[in-house]
């Protein structure tokens, strides 16, 4: 019969195990198989207790991030043919806690994402009859690549600074902060600036650059963070001479819009 490929899969059962262990499976090798297909075969035919997360199988949902031979990858976008006949080692995303087997708990990233307010903020809500906010192609080009982020968390698994200090807001959240700050339609910079200026914000980054290297959507978080460092330094200088933009909270925004409407 056909070739087989060896999958070395990290297993962790929180109800039985104290720490993760490696388990080896032999899977029939087909040229078109992705890493995710290999896991599917394993679950369907070899061990139905294997737990992993996936959804779209087309690199847009961002659910199937794994460490493949130590490199953060999307399982659906990574092919076994690039490793065959060598064995492939599959582990949950690094730097995140392991929930079970290949499922890592990325809720810390989601908290940080929430903290940078990843949505357009307007000082006062326009009415529908005014139509959409318009934007030139040049204005779009300034942030477009950052908006491609699918929140898969590969950049967090690639970032040693996040691994060393979990308080760090991290690559994807800071890239999305930069994405909204550079969007001409957005007016929320004053609400995001305290996060940017903090030690846990852009200042925990040392420009390792591996986040940008592993991004499956060609987002460049390292560039976003280091551009934000320049902006944060300018803000620091303005702060020293008492000219920095006053940080705002969501309550300030509500007060302003109430005053305008009332």
Partner 1 sequence: MKSSHQVKTLQDKQWNRSNEPIWWSLFGAGGVVVALILPAVILITGILIPLGLVDPHFMSYVRMQGFASHWLGGLIVFAVIVLPTWHAAHRIYHLSHDLMLKPHQLYFILCYGLAFVITIAAGTLLLVV
Partner 2 sequence: MGYRKPYQRPMTASWWQQNRYYQKYMLRESSSIFVAIYSVNLMLGLFALTKGPTEWHLWLSTQTNFFMMLLHTIIFGFVIYHAVTWFSLAPKTIPVRPSPKITDKMLELGHYVAWAVATCAVFVLFFW
End-to-end CA distance of the chain: 77
Q: What are the CA-CA distances from residue 169 to residues 175, 176, 181, 199, 203 (Å)?
A: 10, 11, 16, 9, 10
The reply to whether 156 sits near partner 2 by the rule CB under 8 A is no
**Which residue, 135 or 233, has its beta carbon nearer to partner 1?**
233
Q: If binding is defined by CB under 8 A, does position 218 make contact with partner 2?
A: no
Candidate ranges 37-45, 46-54, 109-117, 202-210; the one touching partner 2 (CB under 8 A)? 202-210
Q: Binding of partner 1 at residue 3 (CB under 8 A)?
A: no
Whether 157 and 173 have beta carbons less than 8 Å apart is answered as: no
Give yes or no for residue 147 binding partner 2 (CB under 8 A): no
Classify residue 206 by burial, with Cβ atoms within 10 Å: 0-12, 13-18, 19+: exposed
Residue given tokens 């962790």 in the structure block: 12
Cis omega (within 30 of 0) on the bond before 157? no
Interaction pattern, residues 226-245, with partner 1; x per rule: CB under 8 A: ---x--xx--xx-x------
Pair of tokens at residue 257: 């819009």
Backbone dihedral angles phi then psi of residue 202, each to the nearest 5 degrees: -65, -20
Q: How far is CA 2 from CA 38, 87, 88, in A?
A: 15, 16, 18
Backbone torsions φ then ψ of 151, nearest 5 degrees: 55, 40
203 touches, from partner 1, partner 2, none (C-beta below 5 to 8 Å by class): partner 1
* Binding at 252: pick from partner 2, partner 1, none (beta carbon under 5-8 Å per type): none
Q: Is 164 in the site for partner 1 (CB under 8 A)?
A: yes
Q: Minimum distance from CB of 49 to partner 2 (Å)?
A: 15
Return the residue matching tokens 């910079």: 189
The one segment of 49-57, 99-107, 126-134, 178-186 that binds partner 1 by CB under 8 A: 99-107
- Is there binding between residue 41 and partner 1 (CB under 8 A)? no
Q: Which residues contact 221 (CB under 8 A, 6 or more apart)?
A: 146, 155, 171, 172, 174, 175, 211, 212, 215
Task: Determine the distance from the C-alpha atom of residue 3 to the mean position of all C-alpha atoms in its chain, rounded to a whole number.
Answer: 36
To the nearest whole angstrom, how small is the minimum distance from the Cβ of residue 91 to partner 1? 18
Please identify which residue in 5, 68, 74, 98 interacts with partner 2, judged by CB under 8 A.
98
> Measured from the CB of residue 159, what is the shortest distance to partner 1 in angstroms?
12
CA dist list (Å): 13 to 38, 46, 231, 261: 20, 17, 45, 55
Residues at the site binding partner 1, with contacts judged by CB under 8 A: 97, 99, 105, 107-108, 110-112, 114-115, 160, 164, 166, 194-195, 197-201, 203, 206, 229, 232-233, 236-237, 239
Q: Which residues bind partner 2 (CB under 8 A)?
A: 12, 14-15, 17, 19-20, 70-71, 94-95, 97-99, 105, 138, 141-142, 160, 163-164, 206-210, 213, 220, 222-223, 226-231
């Amino acid at each position: 019969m056909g070739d087989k490929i060896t999958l070395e899969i990290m297993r962790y059962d929180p109800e039985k195990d104290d720490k993760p262990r490696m388990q080896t499976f032999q899977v029939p090798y087909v040229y078109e198989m992705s890493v995710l297909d290999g896991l599917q075969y394993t679950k369907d035919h070899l061990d139905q207790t294997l737990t992993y997360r996936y959804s779209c199988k087309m690199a847009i949902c961002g659910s199937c991030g794994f460490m493949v031979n130590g490199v953060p990858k999307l399982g659906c976008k990574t092919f076994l043919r690039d490793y065959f006949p060598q064995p492939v080692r599959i582990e949950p995303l690094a730097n995140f806690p392991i929930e079970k087997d290949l499922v890592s708990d990325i809720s810390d990233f989601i908290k940080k994402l929430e903290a940078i307010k990843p949505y357009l903020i307007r000082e006062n809500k326009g009415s529908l009859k005014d139509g959409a906010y318009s934007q030139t192609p040049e204005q779009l080009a300034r942030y477009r690549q950052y908006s491609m982020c699918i929140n898969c968390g590969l950049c967090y698994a690639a970032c040693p600074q996040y691994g060393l200090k979990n308080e760090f807001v991290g690559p994807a959240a800071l890239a999305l902060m930069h994405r909204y700050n550079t969007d001409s339609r957005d007016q929320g910079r004053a609400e995001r600036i305290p996060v940017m200026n903090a030690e846990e914000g852009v200042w925990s980054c040392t420009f390792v650059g591996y986040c940008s290297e592993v991004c499956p959507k060609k987002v460049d978080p390292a560039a976003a963070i280091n551009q934000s460092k320049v902006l944060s330094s300018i803000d620091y200088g303005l702060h020293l001479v008492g000219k920095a933009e006053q940080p705002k909270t969501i309550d300030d925004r509500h007060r302003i819009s109430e005053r305008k409407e009332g």
